[in-house]
């Protein structure tokens, strides 16, 4: 049986872990020594990554991750995604957990092993813009 494409694997990860709000599902997708680099900071190891996911999920109520587009290189060893997260503020970026609606975009580039396991994820998200919207008096987040 042929394995799913790298795009299908990454999109299944988004759905199971983020939309499913289930950090334990990380085990189904990543290698033991998985690394995420987000905003220039590295989180190394699957267990540390699961803790990072849980902490992030705790800052956004009703999180929904929408995949805008995902594509892979010729051999499936790299996948790139553009995405949007929506939800309600529960203290993201150290802001007051006021429940106001939030929305931000980001990109992710994944390294994918031949067997489909995820090796590394480099993430950039529109955090500065989100922080500005959440902390601006009288301005709703979009």
Tell me the pLDDT tens digit for each residue of 98-112. Answer: 999 999 999 999 999
Of the pLDDT bands very low, low, confident and very high (cuts 50, 70, 90), residue 136 is: confident
Q: Using alpha carbons, select from 22, 35, 119, 47 the residue that is nearest to residue 77.
A: 119
Of the pLDDT bands very low, low, confident and very high (cuts 50, 70, 90), residue 115 is: very high
Tell me how far apart the alpha carbons of residues 39 and 23 are, in angstroms, rounded to a whole number: 20
Q: Average pLDDT in the 73-79 region?
A: 97
Q: Average pLDDT in the 22-42 region?
A: 96
List domains and CATH numbers for the chain. Answer: 6-134 (3.10.450.50)
Q: Average pLDDT in the 74-83 region?
A: 97
Residue 22 pLDDT exceeds 90: yes
Helix (H/G/I), strand (E/B), else coil: 24: helix
Quote the pLDDT of residue 139: 52
Phi, psi of 21 (to 5 degrees): 50, 50
Residue 137 pLDDT exceeds 70: no
Quote the pLDDT of residue 40: 86
Quote the pLDDT of residue 1: 63
Helices vs strands, H then E, count in the chain: 3, 6
């Amino acid at each position: 049986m042929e394995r799913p494409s790298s795009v299908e694997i990454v999109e299944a990860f988004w759905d199971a872990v983020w939309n499913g709000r289930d950090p334990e599902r990380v085990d189904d997708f990543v290698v033991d020594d998985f690394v995420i680099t987000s905003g220039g900071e590295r989180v190394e190891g699957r267990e540390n990554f699961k803790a990072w996911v849980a902490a992030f999920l705790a800052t956004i109520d009703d999180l929904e991750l929408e995949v805008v587009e995902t594509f892979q290189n010729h051999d499936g060893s790299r996948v790139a995604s553009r995405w949007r997260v929506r939800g309600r503020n529960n203290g993201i970026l150290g802001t007051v957990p006021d429940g106001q609606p939030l929305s931000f975009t980001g990109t992710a580039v994944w390294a994918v092993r031949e067997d489909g396991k995820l090796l590394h994820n480099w993430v950039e998200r529109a955090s500065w813009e989100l922080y500005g919207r959440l902390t601006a008096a009288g301005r709703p987040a979009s």
